[in-house]
Structure 1
């Protein structure tokens, strides 16, 4: 256990045990590479059957944002992500609101994973009660995250490797099926990327859905205080984004080539996960079992990474707060060195998967994620261009204004294309955050403080 003396007292801190590839693995695990198959039916219907193009658009947007995350985590090597950066560069109260908005996507992603697991198991055991799978699964993930971050990262890495291998098998089978005449009947076609009847607004709408697939590279910043060397975090961010983006694009291209039209997909595939149906059509019942197993592993990896990261955000916000709520979320278990109460709370939220569907929850996730992405790009401009006045010469202007400015522009563009339902519920969540902020600050009579380091 990592402890530090302060007079006669001791304090518990997060343990610095994670190396570069462990953090990259957590990022990839969070991103869940097999989610491209889960959401394929939903995204294909929204885009007019050009899923890989939606992924390209989203990847471009995320690349600008990833660079901004990498720069800010070097300036502020603390867990907390957009919440920390906004609090430090603009205002702690405004930072709280951004952290509150980010909580919407961070809290709901473990719930999404529970929904996907429920869908997988339902496809094999349709007579069993679906709530049972949710309860057992959420309990297991919560327990793993509670006891050790080191073991969590090791299990996550094994699961990520397994799923990537099975995706490789899918690509081989898909290539063979295309050469045998299935779908477009060719490995090389522009149809999956663009064809008659497709419009840019459809692509952008699809990109707002697949954007949540990339949530994970930003969550890497939550492990800054557990990295062996915090300088590796910016490298891990870009590596996770590029590797994950490549997997998403190639998988989406082959899948769209195989299924140029999803009108024959079942209603379950169009509303929840299309993976079982895709796997069965490509490789039969045996491959359906194998790819579903890989997707199951991927979802477990994502659950571990997302559950661990959101509990870190709650922990940082808790240790910066006051009163019983702050003490509750800011508590670290003295033996496990994990934010145990925050982890249990995330598990309880995940149980809501019993009553929701994937399409609805995925739309809610993107509201908070895009607000966080927009603000991280803005904090680069505020910190480097405004506060440090680094605007001398073309290079500094490019790095400190142009690139983060493009990141802001693209994320705002995606935000404008969110569904009305996502925007409505996102605004309600944000208004609740304002009420909570007013209560915490006693209508701004008691200012919020920010603890950048480990707790005193």
Structure 2
């Protein structure tokens, strides 16, 4: 469905992304090499059953992914949770959901650049982190400004290379295991020290690896047949990412049984040295750098689309965010705003930035599950295929999971998140003149689009 424009003749979001392109964006957003980085922390928390924790996290995220898929099929617009909440929970609530998502999306590009810069500094210590931060922000911004087709091709190449390097790491691990036969092939899945509470806690940590699967919904207006393609892409991104994470974690857990590490934070690097030597460990670091660049491109791309959608609607300044470049059809001003967030990265810790991101992401996940339930309540008697299992029970279970993840955040994260929501409420009061006017509406329709018979099998309903 074509989205709103500011007026006749104004440029619209434009593109012809395929299912493969959208899935690649989602996988690159999650960063394939992240499992190597997080392995030590997850294995330590799960008493040496990291793959089980990743599988449990995959299942939990799949529940919410199904809700995103169902909403994306009905509302194939680029605003993601913001659009879904506006249509199902009301325009004011929708704005606050979009505002919360901004806490996630605005800081994720900066986080991607910061992590990338830390790894580059480790590889090239003569260049300070702040220089790498600026270089990364400029490069990804230029790539995204050039246009979606160029970004798509570059993203595919970098993501493929990052995946290949992760698989090369797995091959080295398997070669190592050929000469060091593990005592048990089942211990990485469940062992004498495993407890359900421990695996659940580790899965909550692993769930952070999946942040960004929802970002593919921001590409709806630039995708071929979005009502069919985007729902499939959402589920595929979680499934592919989850299987990759669990498979790599299983092999790593065979190389290093148990959850005891000298330093869990660098366990992946230590294993790289163990299986391939120092030179190979440097190549593993290269995989993280390449994957980080692709992730930065995808993260900034999706952030600019959300800013554009909210600007187009008028809930953010339209002259800043609601305008597309007439030649490239890119939201250049939104891209420049996200690039400016790199300045924040010069003065903020990664832990604090992570707090911002997690609050916005898990609140958005909860809202989308609530939207699916609201859709069931409104359409269960009038629309075939809207069944209690798919639109009520599974979203309710998914909402319980995402609310649990919210409660696991630190007090600092919750405080920052609540303060951000209060700021959004103040902005909403301003643009509605003290709530005396309605929240600015979308300019052209994003009315629900019931799926055709051909589209319905994309996600099994009941």
TM, length-normalised to structure 2? 0.88
Once the 2 structures are TM-superposed, how far is the Cα of residue 427 of structure 1 from its aligned partner?
Answer: 2.1
Q: Is the Cα–Cα contact under 8 Å of residues 40 and 259 in structure 2 kept in the other structure? A: no
Residues 64-83 of structure 1: pairs in structure 2 closer than 5 A = 64-83=63-82
Query: Structure 1 residue 396 and structure 2 residue 395: aligned?
Result: no
Counterpart for residue 101 of structure 2:
102
Q: 2:261 aligns with which of 254, 260, 263?
A: 263
Residues 302-451 of structure 1: pairs in structure 2 closer than 5 A = 302-321=295-314, 325-383=317-375, 385-390=376-381, 396-451=387-442
With over 3 angstroms needed to count, the CA separation of the structure-2 counterparts of 1:93 and 1:173, relative to structure 1, is same
Q: Is the Cα–Cα contact under 8 Å of residues 304 and 338 in structure 2 kept in the other structure? A: yes
TM, length-normalised to structure 1? 0.89
- Distance in 2, matches of 1:394 and 1:69, equals 16
Say which is worse superposed, 232-241 or 87-96, in terms of deviation.
232-241
* TM-superposition CA deviations, 1:245-282 (whole Å, max 9, x none): 110111122223333345313xxx72xx6554442232
Ranges in structure 2 where 5+ consecutive residues have no aligned partner: 447-462
Q: Is the Cα–Cα contact under 8 Å of residues 391 and 400 in structure 1 kept in the other structure? A: no
Q: Is the Cα–Cα contact under 8 Å of residues 3 and 444 in structure 2 kept in the other structure? A: no
With over 3 angstroms needed to count, the CA separation of the structure-2 counterparts of 1:428 and 1:220, relative to structure 1, is same
With over 3 angstroms needed to count, the CA separation of the structure-2 counterparts of 1:356 and 1:48, relative to structure 1, is farther
Q: Secondary structure at the match of 2:213?
A: coil
Q: Is the Cα–Cα contact under 8 Å of residues 105 and 366 in structure 1 kept in the other structure? A: yes
Q: Is the Cα–Cα contact under 8 Å of residues 78 and 84 in structure 1 kept in the other structure? A: yes
Aligned length: 443
Counterpart for residue 241 of structure 2:
244
With over 3 angstroms needed to count, the CA separation of the structure-2 counterparts of 1:274 and 1:299, relative to structure 1, is farther
Q: Is the Cα–Cα contact under 8 Å of residues 390 and 396 in structure 1 kept in the other structure? A: no
- Distance in 2, matches of 1:243 and 1:341, equals 33
Once the 2 structures are TM-superposed, how far is the Cα of residue 431 of structure 1 from its aligned partner?
Answer: 2.1
Ranges in structure 1 where 5+ consecutive residues have no aligned partner: none
- Distance in 1, matches of 2:342 and 2:5, equals 37
Q: Secondary structure at the match of 2:387?
A: helix
Query: Structure 1 residue 11 and structure 2 residue 16: aligned?
Result: no
- Distance in 2, matches of 1:425 and 1:322, equals 22
* TM-superposition CA deviations, 1:134-168 (whole Å, max 9, x none): 11111111111112111111111111111111121
Q: Is the Cα–Cα contact under 8 Å of residues 29 and 160 in structure 1 kept in the other structure? A: yes
Once the 2 structures are TM-superposed, how far is the Cα of residue 397 of structure 1 from its aligned partner?
Answer: 1.6
- Distance in 2, matches of 1:3 and 1:126, equals 47
- Distance in 2, matches of 1:365 and 1:5, equals 30
Counterpart for residue 85 of structure 1:
84
Q: Secondary structure at the match of 1:11?
A: coil
Once the 2 structures are TM-superposed, how far is the Cα of residue 41 of structure 1 from its aligned partner?
Answer: 3.3
Q: Secondary structure at the match of 1:10?
A: coil
- Distance in 1, matches of 2:186 and 2:342, equals 40
Q: Is the Cα–Cα contact under 8 Å of residues 390 and 400 in structure 1 kept in the other structure? A: no
Q: Secondary structure at the match of 2:314?
A: coil
Counterpart for residue 214 of structure 1:
210
Q: Is the Cα–Cα contact under 8 Å of residues 207 and 414 in structure 1 kept in the other structure? A: no
Q: Is the Cα–Cα contact under 8 Å of residues 3 and 12 in structure 1 kept in the other structure? A: no
Once the 2 structures are TM-superposed, how far is the Cα of residue 372 of structure 1 from its aligned partner?
Answer: 0.9
Residues 274-293 of structure 1: pairs in structure 2 closer than 5 A = 275-293=268-286
RMSD over aligned Cα, in angstroms?
2.7
Once the 2 structures are TM-superposed, how far is the Cα of residue 65 of structure 1 from its aligned partner?
Answer: 1.1
Q: Is the Cα–Cα contact under 8 Å of residues 4 and 10 in structure 1 kept in the other structure? A: no
- Distance in 2, matches of 1:162 and 1:428, equals 40
- Distance in 2, matches of 1:4 and 1:207, equals 40
Q: Secondary structure at the match of 2:9?
A: strand
With over 3 angstroms needed to count, the CA separation of the structure-2 counterparts of 1:399 and 1:216, relative to structure 1, is same
* TM-superposition CA deviations, 1:177-198 (whole Å, max 9, x none): 23433xxx52853333344455
Q: Is the Cα–Cα contact under 8 Å of residues 315 and 329 in structure 1 kept in the other structure? A: yes
Once the 2 structures are TM-superposed, how far is the Cα of residue 375 of structure 1 from its aligned partner?
Answer: 1.1
